[in-house]
Chain A
Amino acid sequence: MDEFLQGFIKAFELIVTLDPEVMEITGRTLAIAVSSCLVATVICLPLGSLIQFKQFPGKRILINLIQTFYSIPTVVVGLLVFILFSRTGPFGIFNLMFTPTIMVIGQAILISPIVLGLTISALNSVDRTITDTARSLGASGWQTAWVITREARFAVTAAIILGFGRAISEVGLALMVGGNIRGFTRVITTAISLETSKGDVELSIALGVILFFIALVVNVILNGLQQRK
């Protein structure tokens, strides 16, 4: 129990004194998660609109498939990215293994199903009468799509934030393709994993507290958004 308490005291010291290692790891974690989120958003928003507003055979099955991938294990994505981007793999020439870039790519793949699926749901839940009104006022297909997307903006943002939450909290992928290189690819979750397995809990606790705090902020924003629609 004493050790437990000591751990917490030291952890708070690390946070309050803005320990350079803690700050550096936190900054990198945020940077990587935010960029993967951005990549996923840029790809999934237009794609989601396309799937929602176009009619095509197999649409239902496609959406089911996307939803299945919500819970794809992070290590499976890690394996996929490893096979693709190892220097002997098909994309090996880019030489990206064990870099922050590959972590962004992996996390973007990981969270894309969530962002895509929830974007489609968000667009789908916009009141039917809005579509009809826009149509009857003479809006073209693209203009109607824009109006609906604008209506669904809070729900879409919530989808993105959920994706962010998954990206920042995953560890398997970051460890497998990032390599947990100190000062380069070490993020909060991989640092906690390493330090705890080595029996050093202070840094782990400090980073855990920070991650928890980030999750709290994300949730507050999410709640705020969900109440607005």
Chain B
Amino acid sequence: MSLRPLKSGQIAGTFIIIITLAGLMAAMLGCAAEAPAPAPAVTTPAPEPTYPVATPKVRFKIATTTSLYDTGLWYYLEPLFEEKAKVELDIVYSGTGAALNQGRNGNVDAVIVHDPDQEKKFVDEGFGINRRAFAYNFFMMAGPAADPAGIKGLEPADAFKKIADGGRKDPNNIKFVSRGDSSGTHGAEQRLWANAGYTYATDIQKSGPWYIEAGQGMGPTLIMANEQNAYVLCDGSTFTSYRGKLALVLLVNKPSEATLNIYNAYAIDPAKVKTVKIKQANDFINWLISPEVQRLIGQYGVKEFGGPLFNPINDGGCTYPACPDLAENMIPIK
């Protein structure tokens, strides 16, 4: 018995295709691979450092909170910074808790977050340095137009009470969708429950089917609340940018210290995480607080949504005790 002759034409063809694709791929990945950081240049007195055209692009990673990502703000700012600083800016989005952990794990060079308590811990641990606030807005409450719990126009604490009491009695009609992901918005929600006199872990989290923990970003959480006809706590910017997709209406809109939401940028301390690209991180933060970008942030959304989505930190409206000292905040990092 002899072996069958090789019928390898077709199979060889398949392999050739695979190998060709792999070659293309290798080329692509090669281009995408991290370029070595240029040696730290001697600082020149020129205010606008110029970059040689042929400088290989550095990849610089930030973790950002989902509310900023879902509004499209980064899609708007990213190319501008990349053009200016000649870097590739890679943006990973997650809630504040997860974003800070990406910083602790050394997977990103800077973080953009909005949770005072978690941020304080991050700074105390020695990870977060060079904080600059660059934008703010206020948390708002949205819900079904029929407003079964009757919260329209109430103070946030009273609205939370009505939802919690109503939800326990009538979980089919009164529901609340929480971020449930240790994000800044989730933190703000927990503070508001505390203001309303509840212990979050026992009175709210495990109190029944009315309280829904989404475990997702701000945009997806809004979509979920919309599907469930539920109440939701949301930052005003994301709500405005999603309004066209939602049947939910704004019910509580009370700018105050309790609903203030400040977005801070931090560089990760290279003393803690050796690999941090501190120069790019500082450049990025300085860029965010520059008058030009502050103006751009204030204009973002005007065309598309009929009004600005975010308040730039320097607009003079942030006068609450929790607001940063502007004179200090706007000084660029050296």
How far, in whole Å, are A92 and B273 apart by their CA atoms in the complex?
11
How far, in whole Å, are A148 and B91 apart by their CA atoms in the complex?
49
| Chain A residue at minimum C-beta to C-beta distance from B28 | A31
Cβ-neighbour of B18 out of A34, A88, A197, A228 (below 8 A):
A34
Main secondary structure of the interface of A (DSSP, over half): helix
Contact with A along B1-38 (1 / 0, CB 8 A): 10110111011001000110110111011001110000
Complex interface: chain A residues within 8 A of B32 (CB): 99-100, 184
Cβ-neighbour of B105 out of A88, A147, A199 (below 8 A):
A88
Whether B90 contacts A98 by the Cβ 8 Å rule is yes
Complex interface: chain A residues within 8 A of B245 (CB): 199
Whether A154 contacts B11 by the Cβ 8 Å rule is yes
Whether A197 contacts B90 by the Cβ 8 Å rule is no
Complex interface: chain A residues within 8 A of B105 (CB): 86-89, 97
Binding site for A on B (CB under 8 A): 1, 3-4, 6-8, 10-11, 14, 18-19, 21-22, 24-26, 28-29, 32-34, 61, 70, 75, 78, 88, 90-93, 104-108, 216-217, 219-220, 223, 242, 245, 273, 275
- Interface residues in A31-88 by Cβ distance below 8 A to B read 31-32, 34-35, 37-38, 86-88
Whether B1 contacts A133 by the Cβ 8 Å rule is yes
Complex interface: chain A residues within 8 A of B92 (CB): 98, 179-181
| A198 adjacent to chain B (CB < 8 Å) | yes
How far, in whole Å, are A9 and B89 apart by their CA atoms in the complex?
33
Whether A150 contacts B61 by the Cβ 8 Å rule is no
Question: 3 shortest A-B CB distances, which residue pairs?
Answer: A87-B106, A197-B220, A31-B25
How far, in whole Å, are A185 and B7 apart by their CA atoms in the complex?
39
Whether A30 contacts B29 by the Cβ 8 Å rule is no
| Chain B residue at minimum C-beta to C-beta distance from A178 | B92
Whether B34 contacts A99 by the Cβ 8 Å rule is yes
Cβ-neighbour of B14 out of A38, A97, A130, A221 (below 8 A):
A221
Whether A181 contacts B90 by the Cβ 8 Å rule is yes
Whether A86 contacts B11 by the Cβ 8 Å rule is no
| A124 adjacent to chain B (CB < 8 Å) | no
* A35, A92, A228: residue with the most chain B Cβ atoms closer than 10 Å: A35
Whether A28 contacts B219 by the Cβ 8 Å rule is no
| A95 adjacent to chain B (CB < 8 Å) | yes
Using a Cβ–Cβ cut-off of 8 Å, how many residues does chain A contribute to the interface with B? 42
Complex interface: chain B residues within 8 A of A28 (CB): 28
Whether B61 contacts A98 by the Cβ 8 Å rule is yes
Beyond A30-B21, A101-B33, 13 additional pairs, beta carbon < 8 A: A31-B25, A34-B18, A88-B104, A88-B106, A92-B275, A95-B34, A179-B90, A179-B92, A197-B216, A197-B223, A198-B70, A198-B220, A199-B223
Write the nearest CB–CB distance from B66 to chain A, whole angstroms: 10
| Chain B residue at minimum C-beta to C-beta distance from A156 | B11
Complex interface: chain A residues within 8 A of B219 (CB): 197-199
Binding site for B on A (CB under 8 A): 27-28, 30-32, 34-35, 37-38, 86-89, 92, 95, 97-101, 104, 129-130, 133-134, 147, 150-151, 153-154, 157, 179-182, 184-185, 197-199, 221, 228
Cβ-neighbour of A97 out of B29, B33, B107, B217 (below 8 A):
B107
How far, in whole Å, are A65 and B105 apart by their CA atoms in the complex?
32
How far, in whole Å, are A50 and B6 apart by their CA atoms in the complex?
23
Known contacts A197-B217, A197-B219, A130 near B3 by CB under 8 Å? yes
Complex interface: chain A residues within 8 A of B93 (CB): 180
Complex interface: chain A residues within 8 A of B8 (CB): 153
Whether A87 contacts B273 by the Cβ 8 Å rule is yes
Write the nearest CB–CB distance from B79 to chain A, whole angstroms: 10
Known contacts A87-B273, A87-B275, A88-B105, A184 near B90 by CB under 8 Å? yes
How far, in whole Å, are A97 and B273 apart by their CA atoms in the complex?
15
Give me 10 A-to-B residue pairs in the complex whose CB atoms sit less than 8 angstroms apart, sorted by A's number. A35-B29, A99-B32, A101-B33, A147-B3, A151-B3, A157-B11, A180-B93, A181-B91, A181-B92, A197-B216
How far, in whole Å, are A98 and B28 apart by their CA atoms in the complex?
16
Write the nearest CB–CB distance from B272 to chain A, whole angstroms: 10
Whether A133 contacts B3 by the Cβ 8 Å rule is yes
* A86, A98, A134: residue with the most chain B Cβ atoms closer than 10 Å: A98
Complex interface: chain B residues within 8 A of A31 (CB): 21, 24-25, 28-29
Write the nearest CB–CB distance from B311 to chain A, whole angstroms: 23
Write the nearest CB–CB distance from B56 to chain A, whole angstroms: 15
How far, in whole Å, are A50 and B245 apart by their CA atoms in the complex?
57
Complex interface: chain A residues within 8 A of B61 (CB): 98
Whether B220 contacts A150 by the Cβ 8 Å rule is no
Whether B3 contacts A95 by the Cβ 8 Å rule is no
How far, in whole Å, are A147 and B108 apart by their CA atoms in the complex?
50
Write the nearest CB–CB distance from A42 to chain B, whole angstroms: 10
